[in-house]
Structure 1
Amino acid sequence: MGDKVFKLVGTAAAVGAGVLAKKFSEGGWKAVMATDPPANPEDPDTELYEAILWAAVSGALIALARMVASRQWTRYYTKSAGKKPSNPNDIA
């Protein structure tokens, strides 16, 4: 398996994990706050504390999910190929 395939699958895994994390954070927001998350946190009509909380929580969850997916894919690739990819930081 070449580095291009590694990068392509790694990017897809990271994007997929980010999408799932966004859905999870939206569901969590609805469960805790009993409202929909801010559609546009930059909108002046959105309460500042909601915009800050949404940005912090959703951003952290999405970044964490992408990092975990990238690490797992790199681990799988290394195990199956018998070597580490040339530059695992290039996948996302």
Structure 2
Amino acid sequence: MSSVVWKLVGPGAGFIATAVANRVVKKAWVGITKSPPPDNPEDPDVAWKEAVVWALASGAIIGITRLLVERQAAVWYRNTFNEAPPGLGKGDDGRVEQLS
């Protein structure tokens, strides 16, 4: 049962965090630059500077937000089920298991 919960909570937390962070980043971009973010930074018509700044800002903020939310989800799981989430615990030899 607990592994089924983690299969829903882990990815669900990451998905929601990504969606919220993406909206926040776009609003912050508009607030700072007074223009919408590039729809497709890979488009050659988008200036290099704008494409790179957008990629760095959005990637960092979304990545850090996902990390924070997914770690909190893992803490919640550990506190609720008294075990590490599947794929995040230590193996029999004491090494941290790799995510599959």
TM-score for the superposition, normalised by structure 1: 0.91
Instruction: Count residues with an aligned counterpart.
Output: 91
- 2:46 counterpart of 1:56: no
1:87 maps to what in 2? 87
Unaligned runs of 5+ in 1: none
Aligned-residue Cα RMSD (Å) equals 1.5
Could you tell me how far 1:9 is from its partner in structure 2? 1.3
Conservation of the 8 A alpha-carbon contact between 2:26 and 2:36 = yes
Greater percentage in helix? 1
Assess if the C-alpha contact under 8 Å between 1:29 and 1:37 holds in 2.
yes
Partner of 2:46: 46
Shift of 1:2: 2.0
Larger Rg: 2
- Greater RCO structure (CA 8 Å; 6+ sep): 1
Report the identity percentage.
Answer: 34
Is the Cα–Cα contact under 8 Å of residues 6 and 86 in structure 2 kept in the other structure? no
Q: Deviations over 1:20-49 (max 9, x none)?
A: 000000000000000000011011111110
Q: Is the Cα–Cα contact under 8 Å of residues 18 and 65 in structure 1 kept in the other structure?
A: yes
Secondary structure (helix, strand or coil) at the match of 1:39 reads coil
- TM-score, L = length of structure 2: 0.84
Asked whether the 8 Å contact 2:25–2:58 carries over to 1, the reply is: yes
For 2:80 and 2:5, how far apart are their aligned partners in 1? 13
2:17 and 2:99 map into 1 onto residues whose CA distance is: 17
